[in-house]
Every structure is written in structure tokens, then in C-alpha cells.
Chain A
Amino acid sequence: MAGVGSACLTIALLTALYAAGASVYGAVARRREWVISGRRAIYCMAGLCLVAFALLEAAFLRTDLSLKLVAEGSSTDTPTFYKVTALWATQDGSLLLWATLMSLFASAALFLTRRSLREIAPWAAAVLGCVAAFFLFLMVGWENPFDTLAVAPAEGAGLNPLLRHPAMMIHPPMLYTGYVGFSIPFAFAVGALIERRTGADWIRATRRFALIAWTFLGTGILLGALWSYTELGWGGYWAWDPVENASLMPWLVGTAFIHSIMVQEKRGMLRVWNVSLVCATFALALLGTFLVRSGILDSIHAFGASTIGVQFLVFICSVVALSAALVLWRLPDLRSEARLDSFASREAFFILNNLVLVGLCLVILWGTFFPLISEALTGEEASVGPPWFDRLTTPIALVLVLLTGVGPVLAWRRVTLAALGRVLVVPLAVALVALLGLLAFTDAADSVPALLMFCFVAFVLAVVAQEFWRGASARRVMTGEAWPRALARLTGRNRRRYGGYLVHAGIAVLFLGVAASSAFLEQRDVRLAPGESFSLDGYEITYRKATARLGGDSAGTGAPISFGAVMSVRRGDQRFTLRPSRNFYSSGDPSLGAISRFFEGEATSEVDVRWGLRKDLWLAVRPDVSALEKPIAEADAKFADSPGDVQALIIAALAERYRRDPPPAAFRAIASPLVAWIWIGGAIALLGALVAVWPSPEARLRRVRALYSARLGKELSRA
């Protein structure tokens, strides 16, 4: 079976190379049949990748320990749910997932453009074939996921406990879908440049892919943040870790791209900028994939030091160099059709938002690579911490949110001051009321950036609400529909526009949560014995008793031992119980004693959160197992060679001992205001993106009509 998988990958690599070659030849020699053959080779490659992926997934589900990948990343006692995800928790498996998703996206894009873009599509197929070939080449040459072990071990190492979280099941595929999705607009942009068809055709054909990629990438980033909040045990959702930054950068540039292409579609401007942006987005997506693998920057989320860093670096550099060369070569063909009429216009604000987004990305890029930069310049490896990122990104984020509100109300070409005043008066009034209300009734003034952000968010939400209201009331005047129907019809008929507004509202809500939770978070670390209590932000938190469970922890991660605490919380007349715990996983280290092995492996916090729209109470516990050290050492000596069930009894006795007579445990409690709105804002933005991406019935009707008239034309010309 491993042989079949390897063979699939090798054939897929050859197919990808053939697809690239055939497409280029077909495009240069204007031989249609070669182009079609190249496109079909991409479909074929996608099929082969899928087969390989399915084979590997089957191996993980069966826990086929003769495969190196399965033995290192999974085990028979890993819960089934996490056996499935273990595939992409490994280096080689994640490459296969990348290649599979990429080939599926490429097939879909080429299938949808099979009757249009005759000049551009073959080159796009060639580019996509080359990118896929690179990933397949990595797998065939260095990181073959189907490598077998000479002797299959009795048990695998198991999935890393930190990754046993539902958000981690879908986070990597989301992120990768986002990364690979941006390869489609990139490939078509390259085709457009080569063929000098630099109009908006390539944009119209791939804009939906860019939007889908953007949506997936954003969802992936948010899921990662949620995982960090609930699993990593430090209580934050964003740490400016290199790997987090790596996923954020292509998203920011991608955001700039999906805005600026509208300017090109509407006004024929910004052509150089758009092709540069899409190349940058794709290069950053590759960089994101690379950073997780290279080991060049210290991150807690990286794969182990790997053998493919150099190959990746060479590939990214050649992508950047070739795209830059291509853009420069075609510079004469990329002249704008129009000039900027006025700075008070939507296109001018789109340019501004682009500059801000790209600037933000550059700041993050600089901070992420600062350890390398500083080592090169001063010889000392130094890093900038989260405070640096916070200080620089906060003002940029404020400007960005403000632009989110201003952009939608501006007209294309030129807007008069009077018109601007008319649309802005209500939102400005709302922002002012919000400001006064916050100053009068809350302590929001303690943090000026947060206060500004709250007002800007109110402004954006008012703008969006006003746009919906204006559109719907116009419809009502014309059609006499009721409000809900008018709103639904309005959104349905102008999905891109109103979906976009929803995204803006969602992002504003998200920033509301970010600003409130970073400025007004309260945190305490305490050490408590059972019966003791402490207070935090009005919560009275009492450590009632200790818990100890063997097998089957509450989150179903398959941890053998789980020590926890029952905490009763009181706030006013509100009472509830939180049960944070800590999972202990056994270590595979043979030098440890038979019993201590169970306590010396990884340990992860299973935090308990009281979710609330106004405030989250987040609680983690760190049981002190050092009190058990002596009995554990004694047990190690006595029961070294005992059979497994005897050891299990010993562990049970130790757990019982901990439960009955627990030593003081360390707790971390965080009261985080409005943090839930980050996830709610994310969900609103996701909904908006779906509305914008979903094809409208009118558009489908138009396409069908166009197809029929084309066929009719053909019939007529034949007759």
C-alpha cells in the first residue's frame, strides 16, 4: 500500500510536469489540442493526489505503524477523531494536504475557464502545474509521507497533546485552503502578463477564488486564535508568534488585493499594483508554509527542524524574482486607462486602504524577521516582543477601521463635500454619542486607543446600517415590499456589495472585542489550597476540591491522567461552577521509571471558560504533583517490572491520594471583557464573505443565456 501511495506521488509529479510542458507548448504554438491535454493532465494529477491522500488517511485510521509517519504522529490509543487530524500534524502529511488542495483548486479554476480566457488559461495551467510539481517533488525527493519503517514499533508516539483540540482539526485545512487559493489569481495574473492581456478579464475570472481563499484564510486564522485561547493555557488569542504572523501577512495583502481589483474592474487603474499585490500575496502564502517548516525562527507552533528549508527558500526566491521580472518586462502594457480624478473618491480611499494594509504587513514582516535582521547587522540575535507589535500595529489598526467605515459611503470618481456631509452626518453623530456615553458611564477613557476604537467601531456599524437602510428604503419606494423582504432582496441582488458591508461590520465588531479585551483584561495568578478563595474583577472564586480522573478526560483527548479542580464562582447573585483540569500524557522516554513516565510526558491545560457576551471568565489550573514525587519514586523502584494492570492500579492509587489530600495548586484566572465579540465578529464577517461569494441567480441566468446564444451562433454559422 505504501508502494501504491509512493507511486501515485511519483506519477502525479510526472503528470504535473507534463501538464506544464504541454500547456506551454500549446500556448506558444497555438495548438489547442495540447492545451486541452495539459488541462486534463491537471485533473489527472488532482485525482492521483486524492488517491494518495485517501491512502494515507486510511493508514492513519487503521494505525498502520509500519508507516514512519503514522508511528511518529499517531498511536492506537489516539481517539479516532484525532487520528484523522494526525495526518496534517506531520510535516510530510501536511505537504500532501497542500498539494491535494492545490490540485483540486487548480482543476476547478481551469474547468470553469475552459471556454473562456483561451490565451491566459494555458499559461495559468503551466504555472499551477509547476507549483504543484514543486510540492510533489519535495515529497518524492525528501519528505515522502509513505516512507516505511524496517521494523514496525508496537505502539506509535501519539498525536502531540497540544494539538488535541477541535479547532486544530479544521484550522490547518482552512489555512492551507486559503494559501493554495491565492495560487489561482496568481497563476492567471502571470498568464495575463505573458499574453499582454492585462485588462480585467483575469480578475473577473479569478476574483471569486481570491475571495474564497481570503475567507478560508481568515477563518483559519480565527480558529487558530480560538485554539490558542482555549488550549494553550496562557489565556491569550494572539501572541505575535512568527507562525501566527506568517498566516496574517498573506491575509492582509490579500485583503488589499480584493479591494484594489475593484478599482481596476471599474476604472482600469492600478494594473501594476494589482499584479504586484497578487504576486506578493502568493509569495507570502508560500512564506507562511515555509516558516512553519524551516526552523529558522523560533516558534512554538513549528514543525521540527527540517530538511527542505533550502528547497523552499530557493522556490520562494525564484517566484519573487520571476514575478518581478515579468511585471517589469510588461510595464509598458500595464498603463492605466484612467487617472485619479479626485482624492475625495472611492478609488483614492481604496488606494489609501491598500497602502495602510501593505504598511501593516511590512511592519509585521519586519518584526517577524527581526531576529535574522539583527543577527545579520549586529551579530546578536535579538527579538522584538509583543509590546513592540502592539505599539506599532495599534495606530495602523485604528486607521484601518476608520477606513472600513469611510470607504463604502464614497462614490466612484469624485464626491462633493455636500454629498459626503449628507451620508456622514448620522454615523458621525452615532460615534459622538458613543464617545459621550463611554465617557459618562464607563472607564473606557483609561485607554485612549481603546476609546478611539470603540468610537470608530460605532461609526462603522452606523455606516453599514445606514447603507442597508438606504438601499432597502429605496427598494420599498419602488416595489412596496415589506422591510425584511426588501432587505433580503437588496442583499440578494447586490451580493458583492452588501456581503462586503457585512464583512466590514463583522471586522468592526471583531476589533471591538480585540480593543476591549486587550485594554481592560484583568488577570491573576494565585496559589490556593482547597477551601481558599480569591477575588478578581468582582468574581469571588473558591477552590472547592480537587479531582483526579484516569482515562477519559472531559474533553475526550485520550489523556491517561487528568488532575483538576472544582471551583465555585460567585458574582453578585450569579453563581456557577468551573472545572479546569490538566492532562498528563505519558512520556516515551525509556530512561524514566515505570510509574514516573506517566507524569513526565507532555501536560496540557484544559481550561474552563464561562463564556459571556459581556465578559469571559477564563480559568486554568496547575496541580502541584511534586507532592507525589516521593511515592512515585518509591513506586518506580518497586514496580519497575510489573505488568501493565498492576501499574494501572498504582496510578489509580496515586490519583486517589491526590484527590483526597491535594497540595495547594496554582491557578490563573482571567476576566476578559467583550472577548466573545471577536468570535461573533468573525462569524459575521464569514457570513458576509459567503454572501459575497455565492453566485447570484441573475448571474447564473446570464451565464446560461450567454452559453445558449453562443451555441445558437455556432449552429447558425454551421447551417
Chain B
Amino acid sequence: MEILNTIFSEATNKALVNVVYILASVLFIIGLKMLGSPETARKGNLVSAMGMLIAVVVTLLDQSIIDYKWIVVGLVLGSLVGVIAAMKVKMTAMPEMVAIFNGFGGIASLLVGSSEYLLSAQHNIGILIPIFLTVVIGGLTFTGSLIAYGKLSGTITGNPVIYKGQQWINGILMVALLFLGIEMIVLQGLLITVDWQILVAAVALSFLLGVLIVIPIGGADMPVVIALLNSYSGLAACAAGFVILNNVLIVAGALVGASGLILTNIMCKAMNRSLANVLFSGFGSVISVGSSSTEQGEVRPINVADAYLILEAASSVVIVPGYGMAVAQAQHAVRELGELLEENGSEVQYAIHPVAGRMPGHMNVLLAEANVSYDQLMEPDDINPTIETTDVCLVIGANDVVNPAAREDPQSPIYGMPIINVDKAKTTFVLKRSMAPGFAGIENPLFFKPNTRMLFGDAKDSITALVSEFKT
């Protein structure tokens, strides 16, 4: 016992723990790297999970921990909820699932920061600043994610909530938070008093800010918000790392923060808009002015039987899914149609716009769930160069991402956004319930092009009808 104590003196213990933290960080990095390719992604996720496991285990062995009872309770309950949620969730509910998990990460960091704040009046400024940042970022990540969850699951309206003076209120709130931060740092840093009221106020204001930041954002802009909240959950963990001076929190948090920011940037580029524009404009509420509604021609509807004849003769088909496919739950029917087309001798590809759906990669997940081979899932840049030679484009529940106004109409609010050029294909079928405009509230000239045929009705019903035409 005596020997053990000398070998595992506190200093060696600390060093050992930190070496394991470095190892965990390396596993996170390798894991993230492996997540970058479909062949290795699943293993990469496991590698990253291993990193997490060893980090948790070595932390539990920390000799300064004296009460394990409640830790075990938290770990068991949390695992239970996590396992059930992860196993039960439907793939169509993935966006809100990702949103809520982001929120949980945020609130956990907020609680860690608060716990450390209340612990001691002896904190110096180097700790107080990260405590404040942890609370603010964690807090707004939490409520922002809850609102995103509500919008995505349909519990609250997916439309942007806009009111007069919105920016002003958000601005005032941020200034108030800044003052609170200064007060917290001055009070405790100089006067050495813990003021829990300041903490409560900071938590309340950041909760409010999270709500106010996300409510004005419309459903079609959700991919940006989800990616941004993802980044924030990482940054909150990173700030918590500075609170407890822990290297693995900082490395892991920064990796997540950076990856979320890159995704956010990719999403913004895919819409040709700045992050500020997404966050503050309340896109979709503004009715577009001066869009060239004069030159719209005639809408040409088509029925299933005629659509079948054209598809049957097509040698190449590109399927363009959008959020409507998710709403109609049509992904399995789409896959079946795709397979029938292939059996019939057509080359079938899926063209997926980065912002199609409600989160980054939404359509890919749904189609993968429906068993579509991932090498058929293409990005716009892979499809557009050869789209002129494509016989049929099948647009299923997508609207703004195939709107040629983005290319042709400088007055259009989405002008400059990279789109899938389905209007250049030989024939394009648009599956749509009615002529209502897309989420952004913009008219789509695609519907009036001479080579466009509208197949009206529920996407799933239409596809199923096409499938049965092929089978008979």
C-alpha cells in the first residue's frame, strides 16, 4: 500500500491523467479525419468514441474525486436516455435530434461553468472570463437548440417570427450581457465576492438571447442554424476547458467549434448569403419585389401514365430530392422507382443540393436509410456539367434549389445562389402538391419552362403510382 502510494503520488497521477487526455485528443482527431470518407466513417466514429471512453475512465480514477454515488446516477440515467433516444429516433426526425443533442452539450457546459463559479470567491480574471463565456455560449446554445427542435419537429411554427425593432432588442440584450460580464469579473476578481444573482441574470439573459436569435430564422435556413449551434456547443465545451484548465476539453471543443463553423460557411455559400444575412434578415417573410412575374407562361401538367412513358424511354434520369420528399416520407418509394429505372436500363443518379432539407446532409441520410447506394448521391457540381444530356430530371419536393431565377433574374432574392440546373435537362418533371411558391416565398420560373411538366399530387402517391406502372 505504502509502495503504491509512492508510485502513484499525486504528481505522477496528474501526469498520467494528462497523458491519457493527450491520447484521447489524438483519437478525436483521427476519428474526425476518418469521418471524412464513407468507407472509414463508421470506424472513425468508433475511434472517437474510444477517445471519449478513455477520457471519462481516467477522469473517474482521479484521486481527488470523493463522491461517486451521484456521478454513477448521472452516468446511468444519461446513458439510458441517450440509448433510448438514439435507438428510437426515426431518420426523418434526425434534424431535431441533432438539435436537441447540441442543446444538451450546451447546458452541460453552462452547468460546469456555474458550478465552478459558485465554488470559490478566489477566482482570478483568467478563470472568470471563461466562466462567463461558458455560461453565455452554453446558455444560448441550449435555448437556441430547443427552439430549433421546436421548429423542426413542428411544435412551434417553422416560419420566421419577426417583429419591429428585433435587431435593437437583440443588440440591447448583448450590451446588457457584456455589462453583466464586466460586473461579474470586477466583483469577484477585485472585491472577492461571489454574487449568485449576477450568475442567474447572466444565465437568464443568455437563455433569452438563444430564443431571440433562432425564432426569426425560417425553416429553409435551418441547416445554417443547426451547423452554427453545433459549433457553439463545441465552443462552450472549449470555454469550460479554460475554466478547469483542462487540455482535452479545449482541444475537443475547438475541433467541434471549427468543424461547425466550416459547415456553417459551406451552408451559407450554398445559398450565396452571408451568415449575418441568414441570422438577421428573416428570409422568407419578405415578399420579393420586382421578380419577373410578367414573363411567366403556361403550366403544363402531366399525368402518371404519360410520365411513365417518358421515364420508360429515358436512358438517363437524375432525381433531385428536397424537403418535400422528407415531409411525404417518400424516400423508400423513390429508391424503388430508382431501382426499377435501373432495371429498365436507365442510368440513375441523385443530385443533392447542400441546403436541401433542414440540416446539412439531410437528403443523404434519408436516401441512405432507404438503401440507395452512396456512390449514386451526387453534388450539384458533379451533375450540372452533364445535365444537358440528361433525359429526365425528377424534382421531388425541391423548389428553391432548382429555381433558375437564381441564375437568370438579378432582381430575385436568391440571385447568385448555386442551383441544380434542371431547367437545362431535356425533360423535367416537378412533383408538387400545388403551385404554391417555395419556402423562400419566391416564384419559380422553372414551372413555366417549355420542357417542364408538373406532376401534381402528394410526392409519395405519385412515385408509388409510377412504381406500379413499371411493375405492370
- On whether the two chains bind one another, the answer is no
Measured CB to CB, the residues of B under 8 A from A are none
